[in-house]
């Protein structure tokens, strides 16, 4: 249905609703190219961008939120177009910063990385093109900054088995002593003496306490398997590779597998909050298929100014979702929905128990949207983030998702367009966009659950 407006222009009903939603007057809106998104028009109006300036840009290349920072930065259309050869006009704020810093398109071209935000960060951190380009093609994204900061050379990073670890893991592995030559044979792979030495700096063992998941009381631990991990002997660390096998390593901890008891042991220096969460998960408020927490031990040792905890966990054999996706990507629609429903049910159960991971704008449903996108396309919607893969540079370098969700009204739109372009199935496309724009409220979970039911899940 079309409605007549001033100057004989026509505006469809949906666009009128969108303009009203963003409190943009029709008199101002009709002066801009009607192909601009309503939210983009709001940004143009808010920034007092003259229609004559804005209408020079093709809406297929740049929206209002891209054009506004160019105008506010005093960037002419001709100048913006000259940068458009190396930086898409959809990154108007980055182009405006380049112009302000007098960084030329020729300088930008020296970097062979494809992601404009990654290249922009290279300039901010004074990383030369020679250094940045030396990490290609294996490390094309934000993870390269952690490698550079930790002085990990490209050839050293390439020495780690990529089928086991992501690039974001590598500085962690190096810090705790797992070097590339640790993987030259299976025996060396299992030998984590150096890892455990690095995590447990002071092995002045005092006592070991078991946190009972049901009563939340501290009692003396009598589990010899856990005690076996620690030793009194001077500052040496006792570890038997015939008993324990390496499973995985993170920033503040590692996971070992006991070949005798067939249980997993997570040794971490960031365990107090995790101890509370896992204890909640173990006390009956979460269904029994949640991984079984057997015990939590506070070793009364410390590193990184935090106590060392050991979590004894049920070990469930099988591949991680990450490995399955890498093997079979993209997933068929039915499989994507089936896995997504399983993840959503897990989130609902944890939420009912008072456990949810993210309390900020990028919430658990945002993470679910990322995973659904990964299953549907085989690719990451954002740069690899600490919710998808562990990162070691979170304190000094905000990952891409955090940056986007600091100002989602301005920064999220290009990624929603990316979803529209790359997720071919309309149902999955709607699910991903819903999750990425959700605020993580109870009502959002109900709506998403109902949508999955509509799709026959």
Instruction: Compute the distance between CA of residue 152 and CA of residue 384 in angstroms, rounded to an integer.
Output: 19
Q: Residues near 247 by Cβ (< 8 Å), separated by ≥ 6?
A: 254, 255, 256, 257, 264
Q: What is the mean pLDDT of residues 389-397?
A: 35
Give, in order, the Cα–Cα distances in Å from 71 to each of 63, 78, 200, 457. 13, 12, 55, 48
More confident residue, 8 or 219: 8
Instruction: Compute the distance between CA of residue 122 and CA of residue 128 in angstroms, rounded to an integer.
Output: 7
Which of 244-253, 280-289, 315-324, 428-437 is the least confident region?
Answer: 280-289
Instruction: Compute the distance between CA of residue 43 and CA of residue 330 in angstroms, rounded to an integer.
Output: 36
Whose tokens are 């015939």? That residue is: 242
- 3-state SS class at 3: strand
- DSSP string for 176-220: TT--GGGGSSHHHHH--HHHHHHH-S-------EEE-TTT--EEE
Give, rounded to a whole angstrom, the gap between the first and last alpha carbons of the chain. Answer: 35
Helical (H) or strand (E) element with 429: helix 426-437
Mean pLDDT of the chain: 74
Helical (H) or strand (E) element with 244: strand 244-249
Q: Which residues pair with 84 in a beta bridge?
A: none
The pLDDT tens digits of the residues spanning 317-363 come to: 888 888 898 888 899 999 999 999 999 998 888 787 776 655 444 58
Instruction: Compute the distance between CA of residue 398 and CA of residue 124 in angstroms, rounded to an integer.
Output: 13
Q: How many residues does the chain have?
A: 457
Strands (DSSP E) contained in 282-390 are 293-303, 306-314
Give which of 267, 273, 341, 326 is closest to 302, Cα–Cα.
267
- 3-state SS class at 60: coil
Q: Which residues pair with 255 in a beta bridge?
A: 248, 266
Task: Decide if pLDDT at 422 tops 80.
Answer: yes
Q: Residues near 147 by Cβ (< 8 Å), separated by ≥ 6?
A: 135, 139, 154, 157, 167, 170, 171
Query: What stretches of 252-363 show up as alpha helix (H) in DSSP?
Result: 271-282, 321-327, 333-352
The model's confidence at residue 312, banded by pLDDT at 50, 70 and 90, is: confident
Positive or negative: CA dihedral 271, 272, 276, 279: positive
pTM of the predicted structure, to 2 decimals = 0.47
Among 183-187, 371-375, 390-394, the range with the most confident prediction by mean pLDDT is 371-375
Q: Cβ of 102: how many Cβ atoms within 10 Å? A: 7
Are 54 and 64 a contacting pair, CB within 8 Å? yes
Whose tokens are 């506004």? That residue is: 68
Residue 4: per-residue pLDDT: 38
Which of 23-37, 145-159, 225-239, 296-310 is the least confident region?
Answer: 225-239
Which of 52-56, 163-167, 174-178 is the least confident region?
Answer: 174-178
Which of 105-119, 169-183, 206-220, 306-320 is the least confident region?
Answer: 206-220
Among 132-146, 174-188, 199-213, the range with the most confident prediction by mean pLDDT is 132-146
Are 420 and 430 a contacting pair, CB within 8 Å? no
Instruction: Compute the distance between CA of residue 137 and CA of residue 94 in angstroms, rounded to an integer.
Output: 24
The model's confidence at residue 95, banded by pLDDT at 50, 70 and 90, is: very high
Residue 60: per-residue pLDDT: 93
Residue 77: per-residue pLDDT: 96
Instruction: Compute the distance between CA of residue 408 and CA of residue 6 in angstroms, rounded to an integer.
Output: 33
Residue 276: per-residue pLDDT: 64
Q: Tell me what percent of the chain is helix, strand and coil, each rounded to the nearest 5.
A: 45, 10, 40
């Amino acid at each position: 249905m079309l409605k007549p407006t001033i100057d004989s222009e026509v505006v469809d009903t949906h666009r009128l609703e969108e303009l009203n939603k963003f409190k943009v007057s029709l008199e101002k809106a009709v002066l801009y190219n009607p192909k601009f998104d309503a939210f983009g028009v709001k940004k143009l109006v808010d920034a007092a961008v003259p229609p004559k300036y804005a209408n020079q840009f093709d809406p297929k290349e740049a929206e209002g939120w891209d054009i506004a920072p160019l105008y506010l930065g005093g960037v002419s259309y001709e100048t913006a177009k000259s940068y458009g050869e190396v930086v898409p006009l959809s990154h108007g704020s980055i182009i405006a910063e380049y112009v302000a810093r007098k960084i030329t398109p020729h300088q930008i071209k020296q970097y062979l990385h494809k992601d404009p935000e990654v290249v922009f960060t290279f300039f901010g951190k004074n990383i030369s093109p020679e250094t940045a380009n030396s990490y290609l093609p294996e490390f094309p994204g934000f993870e390269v900054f952690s490698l550079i900061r930790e002085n990990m050379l490209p050839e050293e990073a390439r020495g780690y088995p990529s089928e086991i670890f992501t690039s974001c893991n590598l500085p962690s592995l190096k810090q705790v002593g797992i070097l590339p030559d640790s993987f030259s044979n299976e025996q060396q792979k299992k030998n984590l003496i150096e890892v455990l030495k690095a995590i447990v700096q002071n092995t002045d063992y005092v006592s070991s306490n078991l946190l009972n998941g049901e009563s939340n009381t501290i009692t003396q631990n009598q589990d010899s398997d856990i005690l076996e991990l620690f030793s009194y002997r001077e500052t040496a660390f006792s570890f038997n590779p015939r008993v324990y096998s390496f499973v995985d390593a993170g920033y503040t901890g590692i996971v070992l597998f006991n070949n005798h008891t067939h249980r997993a042991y997570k040794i971490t220096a960031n365990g107090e909050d995790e101890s509370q969460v896992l204890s909640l998960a173990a006390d009956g408020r979460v269904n029994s298929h949640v991984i079984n927490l057997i015990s939590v031990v506070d070793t009364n040792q410390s590193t990184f100014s935090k106590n060392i905890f050991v979590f004894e966990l049920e070990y469930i054999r099988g591949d991680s979702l990450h490995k399955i996706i890498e093997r079979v990507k993209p997933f068929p629609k039915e499989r994507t929905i089936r896995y997504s429903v399983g993840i959503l049910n897990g989130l609902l159960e944890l939420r009912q128990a008072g456990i949810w991971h993210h309390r900020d704008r990028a919430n658990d449903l945002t993470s679910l949207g990322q995973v659904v996108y990964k299953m549907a396309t085989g690719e990451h919607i954002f740069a690899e983030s600490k919710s998808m893969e562990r990162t070691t540079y979170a304190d000094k370098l905000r990952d891409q998702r955090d940056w986007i969700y600091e100002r989602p009204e301005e920064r999220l739109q290009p990624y929603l367009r990316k979803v529209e372009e790359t997720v071919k199935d309309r149902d999955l496309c709607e699910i991903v966009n819903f999750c990425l724009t959700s605020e993580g409220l109870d009502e959002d979970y109900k709506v998403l659950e109902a949508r999955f039911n509509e799709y026959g899940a």
